[in-house]
Amino acid sequence: MTTRLPRFALYRSHPELILNLGSCLAVLAIVAIVSYLLARERDNVELSAIRSSNNIVQLIESDILRNVELYDQSLQGLIWAVGRKELPEIPGPVRQRLLFNEAFVDRKRGEVLWLDKQGNVVGDSTSSVPRKANFSDTGIFQAHLHNANLGLLVGPPFKAGLGDLGWCISFSRRISGANGEFTGLAAGALRLSYFSELFQRLDIGEDSSINLLNTDGQLLARQPSRAQDPRIGSNYAERPNFKRILSEQSGSFTARSSRNGKPRMYTFARVAQLPLIVLVVHSAEDVFESWRRTATLVSVATGVLCVGILWLTLLLGRELRRRHEAEQGLATLAATDSLTGLANRRHLDQVLRQEWARAQRNRKPLAVLMVDVDHFKAFNQRHGHAGGDHALREVAKTIEACIRRPADLAARYGGEEFQVVLPETDLAGAQLLAERIRTSVEALAPFADDAHSVTVSIGIGLSGTQHDLARVLGAADEALYRAKAKGRNRVEGPAD
């Protein structure tokens, strides 16, 4: 049968351990909760930054699509006007307005040209008298010349040779004759500075940027534009981050910049089916700066709280340990005979009941020795109470020294009587131990000049022949009286 611990027995026996364990679990719980909340807040900051960047990307994308649509309408209007048979007969000013609709062409954005099949400028949105130039050797002209199915073609960035447009990108459509032959080109140039001015109106942080690139990896526009930043026309085609952007078309991710190695948050989208990509790049340090300040403050506060909890736990644990030690000391004092240092009568009675119950449960023998100091009253009269007390202490030390097993118990029964409880001990074992005690006491040095050495008589009680504890104790007491009657300084077992 398994003996169950009483309720709260673990706490009663190890209060400091339970307190420390509970404190550590509380600290771990606090750290886990704070870490989870900080991680969730970081995710929220990241999602907010992505959402804001997506809004910027969509705004720029819409503006680019609107400009492309205006240019395409202008080019298609030019192609329609060129195809009119009556065009040569129309007066110059009217002819200019027919070719280049001012509703579609804004000179702040760029210009539109009409090129003949030799690449010469025959129509100019900036003047009724076309400027002299030839574009037959350009890649855009050659592409339309050899392919009638290109539709609207967006060209790479170039430095305008006419006027003061600076860096531009081109939009062009082929002009075909009645039989599909190449008759010229309708081409528009959009100033890239227009996008720079658009980007300047958006505040995204000091170490962040808004970029416009084509699908070939060429940089078309960038804001803010600093001296150390890449220039217009720089190529990013071989950069790992650009390859990812090109493959995913739209989305957001965080990666290290291939230029300076710092973590960046990239949000991007391709502009419809056009070969243009809008890219917003945020510095991860800027995005999470406020979160880091909050996380630092919360972490410090949490650390102070946890240290305070552990410190208070240590103080309380120390007090509990002192209290436990004091209680243990009191319990030991309450169970110890003050004169001999052996167990007292109260402790003896508790152990006897426990060992008797265990012996009955396990069907094992229990032996009890009744030990009485011979002629103690006469000894006490000869040497006084101090001498008697000294003799009792020496006998107690001798009995305790003879006991070898931890489960055995020696106790002062009262006056000059002692009792030894021997669990799981048969008659032969009890007699052997009793004889060892008798001879050891007899071997003690005589007190002062006393001619008589101190001796003991011992009676043995055994549970094998008795049915209750009282009878075992009675049998031991009877055996002791027989030992005294037979001359003392001897051991007597239970009566047959």
As a whole number of angstroms, the distance between CA 219 and CA 239 comes to: 13
Two tokens, residue 162: 């006419």
As a whole number of angstroms, the distance between CA 343 and CA 345 comes to: 7
As a whole number of angstroms, the distance between CA 372 and CA 419 comes to: 9
Two tokens, residue 133: 């130039």
Q: Cα 49 to chain center, whole Å?
A: 24
Which residue in 41, 40, 44, 36 sits closest to 302, CA to CA?
Answer: 36
Neighbours of 2 (CB within 10 A): 3
Q: State the catalytic residue, choosing from 46, 111, 400, 416.
A: 416
| Cβ pair 38, 302 in contact under 8 A | no
Two tokens, residue 181: 């032959």
Residue the block writes with tokens 């339309």: 144
Output DSSP code: residue 457: E
Dihedral (CA of 5, 6, 11, 14) sign = negative
Indicate the residue type of 205. G
C-alpha dihedral over 351, 353, 359, 360, to 10 degrees?
-170
Neighbours of 287 (CB within 10 A): 25
As a whole number of angstroms, the distance between CA 356 and CA 473 comes to: 11
| Cβ pair 287, 43 in contact under 8 A | no
Report helix, strand or coil for 33. helix
As a whole number of angstroms, the distance between CA 424 and CA 336 comes to: 24
Two tokens, residue 245: 């952007």
Residue the block writes with tokens 């669990």: 423
Report helix, strand or coil for 315. helix
Mark whether 416 is an active-site residue: yes
Name the residues annotated as catalytic.
416
